[in-house]
Every structure is written in structure tokens, then in C-alpha cells.
Amino acid sequence: MIKLLEVKKIFKETDQYLDQTVKIGGWIRTSRTSKTFGFIELNDGSYYKNIQIVLEDQLENFDEISKLPISSAIIVEGKLVATPEAKQPFEIKATHIEVEGPSTPDYPLQKKRHSFEFLRSIAHLRPRSNTFSAVFRVRSIAAYAIHKFFQERGFVYVHTPIITGSDCEGAGAMFRVSTLDFNNIPKDEEGRVDVSKDFFGKETNLTVSGQLNVESYCMAFRNVYTFGPTFRAENSNTARHAAEFWMIEPEIAFADLEDNMELAEEMMKFIIQYVMENAPEEMEFFNTFIDTGLFDRLNNVLNSEFGRVSYTEAIEILKNSKESFEYPVEWGCDLQTEHERYLTEKVFKKPVFVTNYPKDIKAFYMRLNDDQKTVAAMDLLVPGVGEIIGGSQREERMDVLERRMEEMELHKDDYWWYLELRKYGGTRHAGYGLGFERAIMYLTGMGNIRDVISFPRTVKTAEF
């Protein structure tokens, strides 16, 4: 039984501990020692900042401690003293130090700067570095902010299934899930894979979205959300794509596209505010070392009313701009990141919702507008990134929904339960998806999705 004080407490409630004996445990981040005294920067994981330990040669095991390699774990007892003339506000004068777990000199995370690429190869150690300790604490705090936002507003959190028996949404390539023996795939009499022999008795895949499932809960609880992993088996080796990522999908009943946009705006502001308040040291680090425009960008989001522009207007703006785009702009085409960024960075200079996209480039479940050409979709574009949220009002009219499914050659039988939601008291409803990793990249300025996921899964990579 080891009762240790958290370093965060010492920083936050310093007065309570000054001139007292304290006992802490942590890992050595740096160590500078001479023959008679030394300084150790210790990090205990509870706080972004290190605490300085002063050793003197009265310490019984001074020699042993002063030779400990970086990342060794020690337990320190000593007096907390103020150091008004030094850089750090206080330090611990060690009276007793125990070695909890030594490290070795070949510890790969030495003090020098490492490339993010190298650090990915030691994903089990990188959270011990300044950058990744900041990234993953912010990730944790942002996840909590999202739950807090929705729970405080009475939303019900729904765990939609990860393994899905239906390829409903067609949102992307899927991973197959199976217990069949790959050396000996059972076949039926006609030589087709005999899926009845598989674990679930049918073909199953990893989900690409919980939306269709969560809509059924929306029709019971009114306001609901998912927050879980989703998957794409796409061969996209970019800085923004991972095969496994987490997504937040709220769904609201008795609500239209306008309500949806209001919710998304309120949520984005809440997350930013919460993270700024609850991880100030980490955010300061990002603003100083990763993206010097970060605070300006986030404050701009907090302080602006998000813009609104229809897709049709946006196309006009883009066509009339003097900008030369790699991809030409024409009504009916999907917007590329360059277009999105131009709109949000150059035209609106703040986050902007683009609404009412052509139906042919959007999913079957989006509500058809009266013009019969566009659907009540919305994408939220933010400076520095482009699209961060995609959503829509859903088609609640059974006949229109069925017609859209026929147009898109979907099998209505596969969607029997989804259609029934319209038959038994369907209401106007809307929702959106926020890619959690994209949000973390946006909040931190980190440029590669691999650097905001603990153990990233991408094409040809599933280490650890």
C-alpha cells in the first residue's frame, strides 16, 4: 500500500504543502548531477509539468540515484520549498529516495528531439514525451467534454453495434468479421462461401456508422448520441485517414436542419471551452510548439457565430473567385478540401455550415428538399481543416424514402426495420457525425491522425 501525493495537487494547492514533507512517485525526465548534488525533473503522470527534485550527498543512496538513467521510476520523500528566485516555483529537497523501477541507458526516448515518425515506432513509450502526453490528455478531456455536453442536456448515450450484419449505409469499404477457417473456407453446393457456418450464420462486417441504429433510439428517447469506434477498409494512406477511428453521432427528434446546426455549433464551442479550461498547460504547449496560430483559431471559433451558406451559393462564390483550384468547380460536384478551406478561411474567415447539397452526391437517408434536386444536408467547415462535421435532416416520409432507395438501387428488405421507424410514429429528425480524431487534430494542431490515436491502424499497419 503506497499512498503518494499527486504532483498536480502540489501545483494546484501549493500553499497546503509548502514546507511540508511530501511523498511522490514518478519517472525521471531529466537528471543533472555532480559529485555532491543534483537536480531531477520528475513527472508522475498526473500533471503536464515536471517537479524539480534536489539531491544532496547526505542522501544515503546519492550515488545510486544520481546515476539512474532517464525514465527510471523513483519514490521521493522530501520537503517542498518555495524557490522564488528560480524558474520553477518550488522544488522538493529529497530526504529519502527509493528506486521503484530502474531504466537502462538504451531508453529510446532520450531528451533530444525525435521525429513523430520515429515516435510512432515506439507507440508504447511515446505518451511519456511532452508532445504525446499533451495529446493524449487532451484527447481524454475532450472525450469527457463530449459526454458531459450531451448528458447535461439529457441525451441518452447508445452503444450501437460494432459488428454489423447489414451493409446498410454504403459509407465505405468494410472489414469482414469471421470465425471461418481461412485455410478451408466452407462452400455450399454451388461453390459459394457457406456463411451459415460462420459465427453469426451470415456475413458480418465492422460498422462504418452507428447512425441507422441510433435513429431507432432517437424515436424512443428523442435526443440520443453514440460515441464509439468505426471502421473504413479504404486504401487511403493519408495524414487524415485511419482504418479505425472514433465517431460521435448525435440524433435529435422533432428537429430540423436548423436545430441540427445549432446543436453542432453549441457542441463545438463547448468542447473547445472545456479543453481550454481543463488542459491549459497542454494547450499552451500546442500553441507554442505545434501550431502558433492555434489560440487565435480556437478563440475565433468561440467568439463567432458560425456562417451559413447553401451549397448552390457556395458554388457561385467559388466560381466567381479569382482562385485557381486544382479541381474545377461545377454545380453537382462534391467540394474538395481546397474549396472548403477557401470558403471557411478566405470568404467567411470563421466556421461555416454549407447546406442543401445535390441529392446525387449524398446518402439515401437525407431529406429531399422541395426543389427535388437537393437534400437537407449540412457540412461544417472550419479554418485550417475543412470539413469536420457532416450531417443532415433525415427523410421521415416513407414514400419519399422508398423512392430514394429505389433510385439508388438499395434493397428495401435489408432496411425493413429502418423503414418501420417511419411507419410507427416517425418524426422530423436530424443528426450528424463528428470524427473524434479530426476534432483532436483541430484542437491540438497535430497534423497527422496517427499522432492522435494511441495505437493507430492504417493500411499495412496494426502494430502493438
User: Which residues within the stretch 348-407 sit at the binding site for a copy of itself (CB under 8 A)?
Assistant: 396
Can residue 425 be called a binding residue for a copy of itself (CB under 8 A)?
Answer: yes
Q: 41-63 burial string, b = 16+ CB within 10 Å, else e?
A: bbbbebbbebbbbbbeeebeebe
Helices within 222-310 (DSSP H only): 257-278, 280-285, 294-303
Q: How far is the CB of 23 from a copy of itself (least distance, A)?
A: 10
Element (H, E) at 441: helix 436-444
- Of 53-61, 289-297, 355-363, 420-428, the window that binds a copy of itself (rule: CB under 8 A) is 420-428
Q: Are 218 and 426 in contact (CB under 8 A)?
A: no
Contact 341, 348 (CB under 8 A): no
One of 18, 143, 317, 400 touching a copy of itself (CB under 8 A):
143
* Nearest-angstrom CA–CA distance, 115 and 108: 12
Q: Which of 50, 133, 287, 356 binds a copy of itself (CB under 8 A)?
A: 133
Residue with cell 479505425: 244
With the C-alpha atoms ordered 425, 427, 430, 431, is the resulting torsion angle positive or negative?
negative
Q: Tell which positions 158-187 bind a copy of itself, by CB under 8 A.
A: 158-166, 173, 175-180, 182-183, 185
Alpha-carbon span 266 to 344, nearest angstrom: 18
Q: With H, G, I as helix, E, B as strand and everything else as coil, classify residue 435.
A: strand
Told to check if 124 binds a copy of itself by CB under 8 A, we report yes
Nearer to a copy of itself, 44 or 291 (CB): 44
Query: Stretches 153-161, 322-330, 337-345, 387-395: which one binds a copy of itself (CB under 8 A)?
Result: 153-161
Q: Which is nearer to a copy of itself, 84 or 101 (CB)?
A: 101
Cell numbers placing 81:
520549498
46 and 80 Cβ atoms separated by less than 8 Å: no
Size of the site for a copy of itself (CB under 8 A): 113
Taking the complex as a whole, how short is the minimal distance between the CB of residue 314 and a copy of itself, in angstroms?
22
Are the CB atoms for 44 and 26 separated by under 8 Å?
A: yes
Query: Looking at 51, 219, 267, 283, which residue binds a copy of itself (CB under 8 A)?
Result: 219
Which residues does 370 contact at the CB level (< 8 Å), separation at least 6?
A: none
Q: Residues 157, 312, 410, 448: which binds a copy of itself (CB under 8 A)?
A: 157
Q: Which of residues 2-21 bind a copy of itself (CB under 8 A)?
A: 2, 4, 6, 8
**Under rule CB under 8 A, residue 418 binds a copy of itself:** yes
Q: 44 or 249: whose CB is closer to a copy of itself?
A: 44
Is residue 103 near a copy of itself by the rule CB under 8 A? Answer: yes
End-to-end, the C-alpha distance of the chain in Å comes to 31
Smallest gap, in angstroms, from Cβ of residue 232 to a copy of itself? 10
Q: Which is nearer to a copy of itself, 344 or 356 (CB)?
A: 356
Alpha carbons 290 and 105: distance in angstroms, whole number: 29
Q: Which of residues 324-343 bind a copy of itself (CB under 8 A)?
A: none
**Torsion, Cα of 131, 134, 137, 141 (10° steps):** -130
Q: Should residue 410 be labelled a site residue for a copy of itself when binding is judged by CB under 8 A? A: no
Query: Restricting to residues 34-73, which ones interact with a copy of itself according to CB under 8 A?
Result: 44-46, 71-73
Select from 54, 171, 233, 276 the one that contacts a copy of itself (CB under 8 A). Answer: 233
